[in-house]
A and B are shown apart, each in its own frame.
Chain A
Amino acid sequence: MKPIRMFQGMAAALMRSDVDTDQIIPARFLKVTTKDGLGRHLFSDWRYHADGSPDPEFVLNKNPEATALVVGDNFGCGSSREHAPWALLDYGIRVLIGSGFADIFRSNALRNGLVAINLAIEERDRLAALCPDEISVNVFDQYVRFGDGKSTTFQLEPFARHCLLHGMNSLDFLISHSKAIDFYEEVHS
């Protein structure tokens, strides 16, 4: 994972509630054994008509330059598939701004460097109303700024923030505790 300190890009709003991971990446695209190329199928059933032509009304087709999404409540609910953040990242989405993500999705997103930011509902809605808009996100100082110049602060889970800033893999952290794991196994065997 590459370190991420600052992000600048274009935000679009996808304000449906309870967007589940089956919409983010439908199950029929999960018969793969790698993480590559999933961006093609991101939001497949919303992005494309049944005949494969793009739906011009879908937010990513209206805003093809979007690299951040302001999203509705409980985004990423349903299946634990990490293919969901893989698909978002492969497509080019780097930041999600929501108000309550589904637990497993948020954890999967942050682990892959997809910055999932939680804001109060009113603040999230205010930013959604500004979309599409140029935004900047500062992961170190934990604020997001839209085109209106107002800064909104957010709180990332400290360990996730540390991993984002340093491009650190949580696997390395687990492995660094091998002695404690050995000890635990000895005591509980």
Chain B
Amino acid sequence: MSQTLFDKIWERHVVVPEKDDHPAVIYIDLHLIHEVTSPQAFTALKENNLTVRCPQKTLGTADHSIPTNPTRQFADQQAADQVSRLLENCREHGIRCLDLNDPAQGIVHVVGPELGYTQPGMTIVCGDSHTSTHGAFGALAFGIGTSEVTGVLATQCLLQRKPKTLSITLEGTLAPLVTAKDVALHVIAKLGAGGGAGFVIEFRGEVVRGFSMESRMTLCNMSIEAGARAGMVAPDDVTFAYLRSKLGEDWQPQSWQRETSDPKARFDREVFLDVSELTPVITYGTSPDQSLPIHANIPSDAASRCLDYMGFESGGSLTGIKVDVVFVGSCTNGRIEDLRLAAKILEGKKVAAHTRMLIVPGSGAVKRAAEAEGLDRVFMEAGAEWREPGCSMCIAMNGDQLQPGQLAVSTSNRNFEGRQGPGGRTMLASPATAAACAVAGAVADPRFLEVTA
């Protein structure tokens, strides 16, 4: 019988099949952990006299509450203690952990792929909803809660009902400066913030085939913003070339790592989108599905609550709205290609005087690559802050945050109320759009920067 890629990965990982009265027991190949969602899981292990079953299939990294300022001074003792706890727990259980002194340290969803841990055909979990990022490699990857983290630490397994499958085929040719982020925001607007609930998405079509691994990661990363369990892209030569660049030219995929959806595979739902006409997209509300082409006016039927929070008026235009802060970074858009794109827009220009711009690389490796290419100089000459790797202002746990009322254009993944600091307002966009907004000091289309700047 024809199967989807998801079906094949699922089937390969069933330890105990699903029955009416209990979910399936699924084997987990890679468990990523970070400081925020793991401490209570380690405590539960201890309380239950359990140990970590497969430390070698577990990787820890400090990312959420760590400082990204050059001095690496923690914002508060609580954050420092949380990171210390992660390091202690990993040390005690023999788990590799990337601390602040480790050159590989970075955001969990950036370092997993960079270090070659993330591979096709795997099941990957983390106590973090953006684990969907790893689906870009043809892995089944999703976020779990802390109780489940305890279960995976103890048994390397997870209880799951089999999700449904959703195929999203992206056709056409993207216009210049229209990126995977714009596609992701467009898809989320089409599906709605809960439209993907219960589904694993497989992104297919010529647009996805033409994407780099980093663009595929951006796309899969945002699957959760449509409520999907996971997002994935079938592995191909682009995937294998990326892995060889990380693991050495001798690396070869196993036969099960070459699997893709069968041509006649049936999905529970199928969506086709032609993205040839897509322009840069930006959010206007407080849910990631509230986005528009950057030149559109805010719809007259927009939810009044979100407009009240954002201080926008229905019918008003987005371009020209004054921007206080621009943030380039996060597990969505904190990789080298994102920084190159931002640098391309910023080169020879200045960040507007009233606008603060932070550029936070997703990992130590991204930071070094950017510096080797001279991107850091472009950023600093433009007047942007060049920071140390971490989640930073995406989640605003580390002191990098908006002041009440400030408006940010951000390459991160969530525009929820107060996400980037209490009272702060967020508009989500691509690195190209974010950089254009920094130069203009206002919402601006990267394709017409000369006009607006």
Contact = CB atoms under 8 A, between A and B. Distances in A.
A63 to B, nearest CB: 20
Interface string A18-44: 101011001110111111000000000
B78 A22 contact: no
Interface size class of A (residues with CB under 8 A): 35 or more
A132 interface: no
B contact patch SS = loop
B-side interface size class: 35 or more
A175 B155 contact: yes
Nearest to A184: B15
B369 interface: no
B94 interface: no
Contacts of A100: 194, 197
Contacts of A184: 15, 27
Interface in B379-398: 395-397
Given A18-B193, A81-B37, A171 B161 contact: no
Nearest to B77: A31
Interface stretch (A6-14, A87-95, A101-109, A145-153): A101-109
Contact of A27 (B40, B43, B76, B419): B419
B81 interface: yes
B193 A77 contact: yes
B145 A111 contact: yes
11 contacts: A27-B397, A74-B227, A77-B194, A78-B129, A157-B23, A159-B23, A170-B147, A174-B154, A177-B157, A181-B156, A184-B15
Interface of B: 15-16, 20-23, 25, 27, 36-37, 39-40, 43-44, 48, 50, 53, 64-65, 76, 78-79, 81-82, 85, 127-129, 143-148, 150-151, 154-157, 159, 161, 193-194, 197-198, 224, 227, 229, 287, 305, 395-397, 404, 414, 416-419, 422-423
Given A33-B82, A159-B21, A174-B25, 10 more contacts: A22-B418, A23-B418, A45-B417, A102-B197, A170-B147, A173-B159, A174-B154, A174-B155, A177-B155, A180-B15
Interface of A: 16, 18, 20, 22-23, 26-28, 30-35, 45, 50, 73-74, 77-82, 100, 102-104, 107-108, 111-112, 157-159, 162, 170-171, 173-175, 177-178, 180-181, 184-185, 188
